[in-house]
Amino acid sequence: MADTPNVTVLRETKLTRALHTAIRDKAASRHQFVTASNRLTRLLIEEALALLPSEEVTVETPCGPYAGCRLPDEERICAVSILRAADCMLGEVRAMMPSVAVGKILIQRDEETALPQLLYSKLPPDIAARPVLLLDPMLATGGSAVAACRLLAEAGVPPESIIFVNVLCVKEGLQAMASAFPAVRVVTGAIDPVLNGSKYIVPGLGDFGDRYFGT
């Protein structure tokens, strides 16, 4: 997107469309929702990892040299979950990289005003020196993600070290992020057209956390 250049949208394939179809279908069972969103999360995390700085290395195969590259060690990376819904994504991140450092930020969107309320945070003390994967499946108004980035900035994390990993967003949320934190990179599964009067994404998928956790 020209006005939000730091945004990577997952390349659409039949597989990604099928996964989106499963999570958007209001008749999907919780098993179908959890399975499809976990699979999408893995694709998004792989896409985000590919944006990290890499080092050129040559290794020896049993048959000769191979010029490759190495991404940062997983112990250096910090995944930060915007609770509650992003814990759905954190499970997949930890299955892929068990020794990743973890931070948690509890932000709840007020049901009447849709404004974010910061309730709790716990971050690794050396987070400022780590690449950060900031996780939240939904980016609607952008209020929650911007509040989380503000907290990370206060903890000393340079915005260019943050990759916001997201299942579904709207342009309004991307623009809110780009104007508050232009250097933060965003990896998303899809950009939907609009928000409704209650600030839900349309067509979207409803409340991600409620559907994942069955609340």
Catalytic residue IDs: 109, 113, 207, 210
Within 13 Å of residue 45, how many CA atoms lie on the same side as its CB? 27
| Closest CB 157 distance from ligand URA, rounded Å | 24
The distance of closest approach from Cβ of residue 125 to ligand URA in the complex, given in angstroms and rounded to an integer, is 30
Q: Whose CA is closest to 75, among 99, 54, 93, 59?
A: 99
CB nearer to ligand URA: pick between 49 and 105: 105
Q: Under a CB-based contact definition with an 8 Å cutoff, are residues 202 and 195 in contact?
A: yes
Tokens of 51: 């944006």
Query: Looking up tokens 């996780």, which residue turns up?
Result: 135
Q: Which of the choices ligand PRP, ligand URA, none does residue 201 contact, using the CB cut-off of 5 to 8 A by kind?
A: ligand URA
* Dist CA 113 CA 23 (whole Å): 26
When the beta carbons of 200 and 213 are compared against ligand URA, the nearer one is 200
Residue 139 binds what, of ligand URA, ligand PRP, none (CB under 5 to 8 Å, by partner type)?
ligand PRP
Q: Which residues bind ligand URA (CB under 6 A)?
A: 138, 140, 200-201, 204, 207-209
Looking at the Cβ atoms of 28 and 177, the one nearer to ligand PRP is 177
Q: Could you tell me the CA-to-CA distances from 161 to 29, 158, 184, 207 in Å, in that order?
A: 37, 5, 7, 29
Least distance between ligand URA and beta carbon 201 (Å): 4
| Binding residues vs ligand PRP (CB under 6 A) | 82, 84-85, 107-109, 114, 116, 136-145, 173, 199, 207-209
3-state secondary structure of 192: strand
Contact 120, 105 (CB under 8 A): yes
118 beta partners: 107
Nearer Cβ to ligand URA (172/207)? 207
